[in-house]
Structure 1
Amino acid sequence: MAQIFHARSGLYAKLVLVALCVALVIGIAVWRTVTGEPNNEGEAVEQPVPFSHKHHVAEVGLDCRYCHASVETDAFAGMPPISTCMTCHSQLFTDQPLLASIVDSWRTGIPLRWNRVHDLPDFVYFDHSIHVAKGVGCVSCHGPVDRMPLTRRVAPLSMDWCLDCHRHPERAVRPRDRVFTLQPPRPEDDRLGMTLVDAYRIDRRRLTDCSVCHR
């Protein structure tokens, strides 16, 4: 009897199935990145200490740069060392149970491990310093953190979301003296945006190049 199928046809079929599964997984991952599938968006992220931006920013009046010291100079905005926290809490509320982890970290020298709220994929490059230098306010990406008892992500951080801003930078830029204020955009900002894009020498033609975010 003549053999209808090749002896290795079963192996080939398995390889095809494996390839389809891999392609499906990659496709789902890319789709989630582009469309911004939920990644704790709108939900507070659990932290070792329930830090309240609402208290520290809106009530105490701390500037973003007091804790995020490298936001103007580095790609990473920076997280405050325990010594920064203890500037106040060596004297204030030292016996509060909620601050026990802070005090223990100070005494032992073991740093706290904070959980990232805004966590981009490894293949995406983001530089805080260039956005600040070009007049993009913190509130554009992080939302009104001064009204957040617990920090949550308010933007999808999807490719579409980022590209929309890169295509229309005039909607996000503001005078440099307002970059670290957390008030929402004002009506006059729309008229000012186009002027600032030119003043900050923002090259729209390059903002949508793949190499800007994928290096």
Structure 2
Amino acid sequence: MQIFRPGANTLFRVVLVTLAAMPVMAIVLAYRLWASPYITQQNVTREQPVPFSHEHHVGGLGIACRYCHTSVETARFAGMPPTHTCMSCHSQIWTNAPMLAPVRTSLAENQPIHWRRVHNLPDYVYFDHSIHVAKGVGCSSCHGAVQTMNLMRQVAPLTMSWCLDCHRNPEKNLRPREEVFNMTWTPPPDQESRGKALKAEYRIPSAARLSECSLCHR
């Protein structure tokens, strides 16, 4: 009496191969998920207490980055503008606009506006804005075309591999220091040779040094 059907051996082999492949597939799936926008929050637009438009203020009015982000050249953090910076203009224009009510309340109560952070690195990652600016890395290299954004969003994945790609080949993102805050700057056709010259001029360490773990994980 035949207990198993003729195709049982084939089915058993398929099951064994599937069981063997499942751990590998799980690892690949987990890695893809970890690098996906679902986790990195890339291109996610967050609601803010005030719908501040970079498109209007930067692209339209031409307000420079450092007018609001005053510590970007001297500190780890670019800094958020205090309420009186906003009111330096809005005490004279759009003074009664409903959307600016949180700004007026913040000034009256002497309490800062609680903005929702857009670019949020883990606590175990050390990042310093000032050193990147000093070495010729422009705002748009990491933050994208901010002057076109109605509401701010994170355009880069900010993953470790993304950071290492630049640290191992910084030449492609280096620009003259006077162009660091130029949001419309684009690399010239000879960026590779210019980048190498700028790397030497700015005394940027080797790719091996820039890839050391302790540089970002302190």
TM-score by length of 1: 0.83
Gaps of 5+ in 2: 1-26
Per the alignment, do residues 127 and 55 of structure 1 end up closer, same or farther by CA in structure 2, a change over 3 Å counting?
Answer: same
**Match of 2:35, as an amino acid?**
T
Q: Match for residue 128 of structure 1?
A: 129
The CA distance in 2 between the partners of 1:160 and 1:180, in whole Å, is: 25
Mapped to 1, the partners of 2:188 and 2:68 lie a distance apart of 26
Question: 2:189 aligned with 1:182, yes or no?
Answer: no
Residue ranges of structure 1 left out of the alignment (5+ in a row): 1-26
- 205, 209, 214: which one aligns with 2:212: 209
Q: State the partner residue of 1:47.
A: 48
1:76 paired residue number: 77
Partners of 1:85 and 1:163 in 2: CA distance: 36
Shift of 1:84: 0.4
2: CA distance, partners of 1:33 / 1:117: 20
- Please say if residues 73 and 129 of structure 2, whose CA atoms lie closer than 8 Å, have aligned partners that are also in contact: yes
Aligned to 2:35: 35
Q: How far apart are residue 190 of structure 1 and its match?
A: 2.9
The verdict on how the C-alpha distance between 1:138 and 1:33 changes in structure 2, with shifts beyond 3 A counting, is farther
Deviations 1:61-105 (A, max 9, x none): 111000000000000000000010000000110111111100110
Instruction: Supply the distance in 2 between the matched residues of 1:119 and 1:185 (Cα, whole angstroms).
Output: 27
Across the two proteins, how many residue pairs are aligned to each other? 188
The 1:59–1:104 alpha-carbon spacing in structure 2 relative to 1, beyond 3 Å, is same
**Shift in CA distance, 60/37, structure 1 to aligned 2, threshold 3 Å:** closer
Is the Cα–Cα contact under 8 Å of residues 137 and 173 in structure 1 kept in the other structure?
yes
Normalised TM-score (structure 2): 0.82
Q: Would you say 1:100 and 2:101 are equivalent positions? A: yes
Give me the identity figure in percent. Answer: 55
Partner residue of 1:159? 160
Counterpart in the other structure of 2:57? 56
Runs of 4+ in structure 1 over 4 Å off: 30-34
